[in-house]
Structure 1
Amino acid sequence: MTDIVRQDEEGPRVGLVERTMEGLRRLIRQRGLRPSDAMPSETVIAEMLSVSRPVAREALRGLATLGILEVGNGRKARVAMPDARALSLILDHTTWTGQLTIQQVLDVRRTLEMRTTALAAMRRSDAIAAELLEIVAQMFAGLDGPPEALMELDIKFHELIAKASGNLLYEILIQSFGVTTRQTWPIGWRSRGTRENRLENLRCHERIATAILAQDAARAEAAISDHFDSAVTVLLRAGVT
């Protein structure tokens, strides 16, 4: 009986919080707020939307979880820069619960990264091209070091390519894949059992980086395609479907 009562009490409250979140999103649009702009205080929000302060607070936190707002202790909430947090949570949830397979994620990711890599070759700055080559150099230098350090360099490499594409949406989408990469990368690295196999993986990154440096979109796209062919094969061999 207690559980039933609790559900009856929480149901309307959840609906009210959701409506308050939608009201806050309308407020952002109506006022033309941009990232880093401050939101009204909890008290003002509660008065504007005719809700209690606890409901206003919960709505602010809900939007912060989605990456729409930044909420810090002791200061007003602010409009957030878009990031990959919400999409990462969805990917993490759907893969762990079996709604998406890793191979399905890789299929989508391959399509996106072939485009981002071609765009990066066409649009990259000299600074980003140099940074990509530096990441590759660090990967070679760290070949015999902790695999976790190599994994983070690998993730940074792909995210930087997405940034070089000049399209924020690509950047967010590629960043969101970091959560699945951290699941599968150690498996793939162990499956590349020999030093030569691991070196070839790094050489593939080098081919991608040098093609982007040369602003050769076709060569860059072919190199990233080869990279994903290798990743898919290695993971399938390891039993990751």
Structure 2
Amino acid sequence: MQTGATRVHDTIGAITRHIRTNALAPGDRLPSEAFFSDNLKVSRTVVREAFRSLAALRLIDLSAGRRATVARVDHGAMSAIIEHGVHTDQISVHQIYDVRRTIETRTAALAALHRTDAQAERIVGLAQAMARDIDTPPAVMEHDLAMHIAIAEAARNPVFAMIVGAFEGVTRETWPIGWRSRTSRKEQLVMIDLHIALAEAIATGDPARAAELMAEHFDVSVRALIAAGIA
């Protein structure tokens, strides 16, 4: 005999199969709750719970009074898992930075190869904005985060952009700690100058140099976190 949880699980599978077999794209509407209830022989309560689960996973969008639609892929669900892992001591900050270093050295190289002129201009502009706003750390952080996303997007692989975006929540918690550990203007400038050099390597189309600088940036960042006592 099926339990309620099993029925919901099976209904989730049926809805996702419907999306695939009907080649539904982001923004396309799904059939109604009544349609799935009738075709799957389950209650509308089960279908509603399945819809809510899919919405929590960012696979569909739910709006009051409107038909559910296929969602555009984003990093929300992955971000929640990563943050949960950190806050419950299942993932360490250093493990996250190790993964980021591996992934983002690749995004930097690919961005140097594939970026458009507009993307290169934005990446350089964000690095320069970090230098301009050096006396306003929250602004520096926003430029820094935006630059890493811009580099991932310029790599022309949406999976990279999604993964890098998923780390943003944890980075927002660790970035101020790392910044405060850089107690001298010289140390702050080292971090910012690395970003400027990285942006210029991407803009000039030098993948090897871009990857090298991104790796160095993460090495410097990890040393700053260690100095701040982050394990």
Q: TM-score range by the shorter chain?
A: over 0.9
Distance in 1 between the 2:99 and 2:12 partners? Answer: 31
Q: Where does residue 45 of structure 2 map in the other structure?
A: 54
Q: Where does residue 84 of structure 1 map in the other structure?
A: 75
Distance in 2 between the 1:207 and 1:74 partners? Answer: 50
Pairing 1:162–2:152 present: yes
Q: Where does residue 150 of structure 1 map in the other structure?
A: 140
Q: Where does residue 3 of structure 1 map in the other structure?
A: none
Distance in 2 between the 1:197 and 1:111 partners? Answer: 24
1:13-35 Cα offsets, whole Å, 9 max, x none, are 22221211111011111111111
| Backbone CA RMSD of aligned residues | 1.2
SS at match of 1:143: coil
- Structure 1 range deviating more: 14-23 or 164-173: 14-23
Give the aligned length.
Answer: 230
1:148 deviates by: 2.3
TM-score by length of 1: 0.92
Q: Where does residue 59 of structure 2 map in the other structure?
A: 68
Q: Where does residue 217 of structure 2 map in the other structure?
A: 227
1:203 to 193, 208, 213: 193
Distance in 1 between the 2:145 and 2:28 partners? Answer: 30
- Unpaired stretches in structure 1, ≥5 consecutive residues: 1-10
Q: Where does residue 184 of structure 2 map in the other structure?
A: 194
SS at match of 2:230: coil
TM-score by length of 2: 0.96
Distance in 1 between the 2:37 and 2:189 partners? Answer: 59
1:97 deviates by: 0.9
Percent identity between matched residues is 40
Pairing 1:20–2:2 present: no
2:92 to 86, 93, 101: 101
1:198 deviates by: 1.1
> What letter is aligned with 2:108?
T
Distance in 2 between the 1:49 and 1:180 partners? Answer: 40
1:56 deviates by: 1.1
Distance in 2 between the 1:220 and 1:55 partners? Answer: 50
Pairing of 1:94-133 with structure 2 (within 5 A): 94-133=85-124
SS at match of 1:120: helix
Please identify runs of 4+ aligned residues in structure 1 that moved more than 3 A. none
